[in-house]
Amino acid sequence: MAFWDEKSLDEMTDAEWEALCDGCGRCCLIKLEDEDSGTLITSDVRCQLLDGDTCACTDYPGRQAKVPDCIKLTPQNVGEIKWIPVTCAYRRLAEGKGLAWWHPLISGDPQTVIDVGVSARGRTFAELDIAPDKWEEHAVDWPEWEPPEQL
């Protein structure tokens, strides 16, 4: 039995926890909050540390020092953060859904995240290239898209 099926998020080792990340980059997209309604809007503007081609953080160990509002996902907060994408393995496991068929731990291939359209790879703009007052113009709904259970 796979570790994600036999352990709760709290019981996982650091290595197991990190292995759950599918590398889509969606959590590293800039979110905007509508001041009137409180609605969160996701943009296609990526964090200054996210590599747009690999969807990997360029300074994962030092990310919180360089980006103070970077939120470290933990078993304790994963269920409380509303902007975590519906495709996220951490969210899916916290909600009792299990890993999606396209997740690299299931498919055996990190390319499936890209093939099914979950990855932010090649679809974003660098935070430092877009003025903050223009981020609203970059609102997109594709980060909330979820592929079918099977193709």
Q: pLDDT tens digits, residue range 33-73?
A: 888 898 899 999 999 999 999 999 999 999 999 999 999 99
Q: What is the mean pLDDT of the chain?
A: 94
Q: Are strands 125-126 and 29-33 parallel, antiparallel or unpaired?
A: unpaired
Who's near 54: CB < 8 A, 6+ residues apart? 23, 121
What the block records as the tokens of 17 is: 């926890």
The whole-number pLDDT of residue 35 equals 85
pLDDT at 79 over 60: yes
Cβ atoms < 10 Å from Cβ of 11: 11
